[in-house]
Amino acid sequence: MDRKQEDIRSRIAVIDLLRGLVICLMILDHTRDFVHHDALVFNPADLTKTYPFLFFVRWITHLCAPTFAFLAGVSIFLQKAGGKTGWRLSKHLITRGLWLVFLELTLIGFGFNFGGPFIFLQVIWALGMSMILISGLVHLPRAIVGMIGVAICFGHALFVGLAPQGGDLQILWNLAMAPGALSPLPGIVVYPVIPWFGIVCLGYALGPMFNQKPEARNRGIAGVAATAILAFILIRMANGYGDPVPWSQQKDNIFTFLSFINVNKYPPSLDYVLLTLGVSLTISLGLQHLPTLLQKPLLAFGRTPMFTYLLHVYIAHGAALLIGLSQGLPASAFTNYISGPKALIEANWGLPLSLTLLVWLGVLAALYPLSRAFERHRTAHKQWWHSYL
């Protein structure tokens, strides 16, 4: 392998390692949703009810969605830089985006709910729609795409006061700008498209940073990460524009710090975007130095993101079902988990956080050989449909 090929593999590995890590964290969050006793009782970010370790277990998973969106933008740039340009790139983005939306509406939604019909629009929906939107922007100068991303991330909160109250426009608003119900349809929007599309645009604009040799790439990543974190600290300290919920003094220094970093995800506030991307990019610098043994599962997950995502939903939800059955609960209690978890709440069901973490590790252990096998299959057999998983 020549030096150029080594550099290309190094660039791809950085992205795959970071994506693999946030997949592991995402699985932690969803496993907690399915099996932790308090998941259906209170929000772990509610400082009046939570405790520091539970807060951290929830907070660290905030890195997932913005990192997925950012890396999606980076990957789109790298595809263009690799020669997939013009209509060929736009067509790929449109078809992949439609595919992701279809999966969200079918296999993914059912896997979370185990019932239906119920529309549950999460990160895959937002990424799919973002790919469709950016399919037209890839023909513009990268700087313009970057300015669009900055404008969205910094400015979408300015339009909160324009939200319509009821009717068809309310549904469109929820799909595009703010979480909310899809009434009269059975469903809910958790990830409105536009705020997450802004993060995809940022990733696309900063894509060249990942297309450099290791030394220059790491300097660029460190610079962007430090700038984002510093900007977060300054804006958050001002306690004005940047997040809809200001931080405040709490009962002790630990909870005051938790209040400071307790930023809004739904939709992603400016403070949220700056903090999570800053932390995520900082972590990516350390992932490159992990022992090979630890890199292997991250690479397997990061190189098979859609495949691993689909499987984890069913494995984690299935694990909750099996645990519940072993404790005497009927299988019906685990159906309509998103649309109507009343039976589980009334049964006071769930595991303590320590056992929830063990279930999470078990889900990862079950996923790894499957993701690794698919990774090897993709390497040995190049097929057009592999890019959709």
- Tell me what pLDDT residue 1 has: 44
The pLDDT value given to residue 378 = 87
Q: What is the pLDDT of residue 10?
A: 54
Q: Is residue 270 within 8 Å of 156, Cβ to Cβ?
A: no
Q: What is the pLDDT of residue 2?
A: 47
At what angle are helices 270-287 and 142-155 packed, to 10 degrees?
A: 120
pTM of the predicted structure, to 2 decimals: 0.95
Task: Please state, for a pLDDT cut of 70, what percent of the chain lies above it.
Answer: 97
Between CA 262 and CA 189 the distance in angstroms is 22
Domain borders along the chain are 3-388
- What pLDDT, on a 0 to 100 scale, did the predictor assign at position 116? 78
- Rounded distance, CA 195 to CA 210, Å? 23
Q: For residue 250, give both structure tokens.
A: 């709490």
**CA gap 271, 273 in Å, rounded:** 6
Relative orientation angle of helices 305-326 and 3-35, to the nearest 10 degrees:
30
* pLDDT for 11: 57
Instruction: Spell out, as residue ranges, where the chain has pLDDT lower than 50.
Output: 1-2, 6-8
- Cα–Cα distance between 309 and 26 in angstroms, integer? 9
Over residues 9-58, the pLDDT tens digits come to 555 789 999 999 999 999 999 999 999 999 999 999 999 999 999 999 99
Read off the pLDDT of residues 263-309 as tens digits, 9 standing for 90 and up. 999 999 999 999 999 999 999 999 999 999 999 999 999 999 999 99
